[in-house]
Structure 1
Amino acid sequence: MRTFSLFIGGHPVDGIGRRDVINPATGGSMGTMPVASAADLDRAVEAAAAAFRGWSTRSDTERAQALRACARAIEAHSEELAQLLTLEQGKPLNGLGSRFEIGGAVAWTDATAQLSLPPELVEDGPQGRVEIHRKPIGVVGAITPWNWPVMIACWHIMPAIRAGNTVVIKPSPLTPLSTIRLVEILGGVLPPGVVNVITGEDALGALMSAHGGIGKITFTGSTQTGRRVMASAAETLKRLTLELGGNDAGIVLPDCDPKKIAEGLFWGGFINSGQTCAALKRLYVHDSIYDPVCAELAAFAAGIPVGNGLEEGSILGPVQNARQRDIVASCVEDAVAKGGRLLLGGRPGNGPGYFYPTTLVADVERGCSLVDREQFGPALPIIRYSSTEEAIAFANDSQMGLGGSVWSSDINRAKEVASQFETGSVWINRHGAIQPNAPFGGVKQSGIGVEFGQEGLKEFTTIQTMFC
């Protein structure tokens, strides 16, 4: 079993201790995480600040070339990263699992390399010339979650360094090792200190968001933690990008063919075993096709194998940690106690690991936790509605506003309904299909700022207006 270290200023650093990292498929240790101290954080910020002086002066072309080199390095180590990711996160190697995630990290890195922020001309006339220039912020602190650890690390790191910043990243203590290895790989093609990684418990993230040497925090995680990050960042007036929780609703209009949409609905809700911020978490189906949709969705879901992610036949894996599995189980139990009807699953086994079966619960309403809160796991409530106006009101009846979807054979009608969603993103006849050239972010309690594309790249810069 390999020992991993912090990576600061281009060099491994031991930290002040070690902590076990658990394989969610077995419940046993798969490795150990180095624990960073406050002094280690200071050293990482100092290394990033020193690297910023040179990195920020690199040309746009040089930084684009560096990102392409990063993509090729990740690609060369893709199977190693996928295996490590499966061991600590639990997702299968195949399907929309670890190999898919590493491939996505490569693709996002390549796409980010193609972005740039040239000066914008505001005015050029007798009164003079006015230009807007985008400048890097400095040291960016990135705090990432346990559900897509490598992909989200690249979402944070790549636009930050593309814009000329340097990075100190802290992954979740539940899935730290794949991020450490990612940063080591990036360290082979980037100057020392451009990207640094520290690992430790959640308190380390609080030190980062309050740290005076960090100019921006980009955080992906729960709304509750996002509030704390925002509060602790206020003292130093840090810039923030917060991609927080979601309780995404999907509305199935009565003109749908249940058999044709079953697969799309399933993967909208159960990608990564439902452990995705922008997964489909509430499904509203019209009275007229409610029973056929329930039947087709249950039939499709029953055919998807769940197992240890290292087994090539597994398509879905365990819940990543015991606490989250217990949250999912509690939500399902509450739904059933309040009249919900189990179509599939709902009865976890007694084997090792944190497995929870693919679960569909019909005949539920507002007032149960499976509908009202973000379950973040492999359980989907299916809610009946009678009118489209009623469904839209139900969908918007949430403090969260990350994503939503409309399912219909009439695209124009679907767009009309979709435009009424109070969300940062909305999909038609699919759910959660993000892409690197389109901005992504939440409204209401689902976040501040956006990621991806030109708009996401701008989040890692400040504006300097030049009057000539």
Structure 2
Amino acid sequence: MTQNEQLHMFVDGQHRRAAESREVRDPATGEVIGLAPVGTRSDLDAAVAAARRAQPGWAQQSDEARAQACRQLADIIGVHSGELARLLTREQGKPLKGIGSEFELGGCAAWLNATADLSLPVEVIQDDDTARVEKHHVPLGVIGSITPWNWPLLIAIWHIAPSIRAGNTVVIKPSPYTTLSTLRMVELLAAALPEGVLNVVADGEGVAEGLTTHKDVDKIIFTGSTETGKKIMAAAAPTLKKLTLEMGGNDAGIVLPDVDPKAVAEGIFWGAFINNGQTCAALKRLYVHDDVYDEICAELSHLAQTMPMGPGLDESNVLGPVQNEMQFQKVTRLASSSPTEGGRVITGGAPREGEGFFFPITLIADAREGMACVDEEQFGPLLPIIRFTEVDDAIRQANSLDVDLAASVWSKDIDAARAIAERLVAGTVYINKHGEVAPHIPFGGARYSSMGVEFGIEGLKSCTNIKVYNIAK
């Protein structure tokens, strides 16, 4: 797209124009890259009505037809990945190369193909002289999707793929920070599906609230903050919607004294700073045993200082800006308060001068519980490093917060690491890595980090109801 070009919402197989638009700026440069529509409640109502009309026919498609549709969508993303990746980089800020926009588009195609290969066959519970009892997984109906700005296209696919694979139709509302790339991707995908199966409505007054309260929306899938998830849950209660809420986490990693600091440093670094730390399951609190504390800090500091940061279209950069001003200000606040609370900044610590929301990788040594940068999920390029001498105390601190999406343990002794993993509260515990997700592995958290799971058979089942046929003989 060209500067000041406007993309439109896509409803019932057609573009839907908005009466108002707003500027979208590149977080690396501040340059206007396009105009995003401002959605309304009437746009949402039209999208839900279209999805409701289309759903029975889509549900009647054969299982293989819906699987093939997912494969076709993967192919479409492959054909348009160059265009989408550049738009994503301009809008979201992440680098084009490396673990950036091209990587994200590759993940979109991979998730669609993997979801196509899943199936939910009929399960025969009983078949004897008295009765045959079968368990079927049937579509829910219309699914509302609310996506975030950190991995906007990949997470949209995480919502869309199992929904349509199971026979549902979808209305998606993208983050206002990453509207353009989502509009364009959904437009491309929806045009290949029957009218009304996939619809996208841009954010605007009453849109998010309308989606969560609409009587004809049967489920909400949401990825975002815990506070917003609570509001969605309350809004959905009167219509008893099903929910899948993935709300991030302040994820802890524990480093035992037997590690080789040089060997584990890169894994820890990228566990924390993939997507510039703007990842729900990123490592956000690092507990390091006193025996290797100084060496771990030194190795991480060296890596931080050698990672090029700048505009994502410059292929020499591996880290981009913080995506938006609100998040930029939060990281700035947490970094600036750390020294006054007893932390020691060993690299970074203040915003970079010049244009864009650039904040250097910031490592806070001598951090401790009670500090803002430890207790708050920073969701950016900042990592507090906490020293410990007793493993039991590290486990206690790791479990002390209530947003537990993932955790990790780092050790040469797998049995010792596994014993610690069994005591950690988290949806996923990694050993000698952190943050990896895959389409065949269930993903969800504990306590306030999640409601329900995504991915794999479990994620596909979450987009269905169980229907039992009990047939007398």
For the aligned pair, the TM-score class normalised by the smaller chain equals over 0.9
Once the two structures are superposed, the pairs formed by residues 167-182 of structure 1 within 5 Å of their partners are: 167-182=170-185
Q: Could you tell me which of 129, 133, 136 is aligned with 1:133?
A: 136
Q: Give the structure 2 partner of residue 190 of structure 1.
A: 193
What letter matches 2:171 in structure 1?
V
Q: Please give the alpha-carbon distance, in whole angstroms, between the structure 1 residues aligned to 2:62 and 2:28.
A: 46
Partner of 2:392: 389
User: Residue 343 of structure 1 aligns with which residue?
Assistant: 346
Task: Please say if 1:352 is aligned against 2:355.
Answer: yes
How many residue pairs match? The answer is 468
- Aligned AA (2:176): P
**Deviation digits for residues 266-293 of structure 1 (CA, Å, limit 9, x no counterpart):** 0000000000000000000001110011
After TM superposition, the structure 1 = structure 2 runs for residues 34-433 of structure 1, keeping only pairs within 5 Å, are 34-201=37-204, 203-433=206-436
Deviation at 1:425, TM superposition (A): 0.7
Q: Which runs of 5+ in 1 are unaligned?
A: none
Answer yes or no: is the 8 Å Cα contact 1:156–1:218 preserved in 2: yes
Match of 2:462 in 1: 459
2:27 is matched by which residue type in structure 1?
P
TM-score computed with the length of structure 1 as normaliser: 0.99
Greater mean deviation of Cα atoms: 188-197 or 277-286: 188-197
Map Cα deviations across residues 111-134 of structure 1 (whole Å, 9 max, x no partner).
000011111121222332211111
For residues 188 and 15 of structure 1, the distance between their equivalents in structure 2, rounded to whole angstroms, comes to 19
User: Structure 1 residue 347: deviation in Å?
Assistant: 2.0
The structural deviation recorded for 1:33 is 0.8
CA distance in 1 between partners of 2:282 and 2:25 (Å): 25
Task: Name the CA distance, whole Å, in 2 between partners of 1:465 and 1:401.
Answer: 35
1:29: Cα distance to partner?
1.9
TM-score (norm 2): 0.98
Query: Does the CA contact (< 8 Å) of 1:145 and 1:171 recur in 2?
Result: yes
- Code of the aligned partner of 1:246: G
Distance 1:461 1:15 in 2: 33
Q: Deviations over 1:210-269 (max 9, x none)?
A: 011100000000000000000000010000000002000000011100000010000000
Q: Deviations over 1:386-407 (max 9, x none)?
A: 1111111010000111000000
| Cα distance in 2 for residues equivalent to 1:16 and 1:345 | 44
Distance 1:53 1:130 in 2: 25
Aligned in 2, Cα 1:202/1:305: closer, same or farther, shift over 3 Å? Answer: farther
How many Å apart are 1:452 and its aligned residue?
Answer: 0.1
Does residue 435 of the first structure (1) align with residue 434 of the second (2)? no
* From 2, 12, 24, the counterpart of 1:9: 12
Runs of 4+ residues over 3 Å off in structure 1: none
Shift of 1:20: 1.3
Gaps of 5+ in 2: none
Alpha-carbon separation, structure 2, partners of 1:246 and 1:270: 14
In structure 2, what is the Cα distance between the partners aligned to 1:287 and 1:374? 24
Letter in 2 for 1:47: A
Q: How far apart are residue 203 of structure 1 and its match?
A: 4.0
CA positional deviation for 1:427: 0.5
Query: What code does the residue aligned with 2:60 have?
Result: T
What CA distance in whole angstroms lies between the structure 2 residues aligned with 1:467 and 1:453? 28
Distance, in Å, in 2 between the alignment partners of 1:51 and 1:15 is: 23
* Percentage of matched positions with identical amino acids: 54
**SS in structure 2 of the partner of residue 363 of structure 1:** strand
Q: Aligned-pair distance for 1:202?
A: 6.7
3-state DSSP of counterpart to 1:249: strand
**Matched letter for residue 13 of structure 2:** G
Any conservation in 1 of the 2:278–2:380 contact (CA below 8 Å)?
yes
SS in 2 for 1:316: coil
- Asked if the contact 1:16–1:37 (Cα under 8 Å) also holds between the matched residues in 2, the reply is no
Distance 1:69 1:98 in 2: 21
| 1:111 partner SS | helix
Look up the SS of the partner of 2:60 in the other structure: coil
Q: Shift of residue 201 of structure 1?
A: 3.4
1:335-376 per-residue CA deviation (whole Å, 9 max, x = no partner) reads 111111111101212211111111111001011111001000
Please tell me whether the aligned partners of residues 335 and 350 of structure 2 are also in contact (alpha carbons under 8 angstroms).
Answer: no
Task: For 2:19 and 2:219, locate their aligned partners in 1 and report how far apart those are by CA, in whole Å.
Answer: 26
- Give the superposed CA RMSD: 0.9
| Matches of 1:186 and 1:55, distance apart in 2 | 15
Maintained 8 Å contact 1:210/1:232: yes
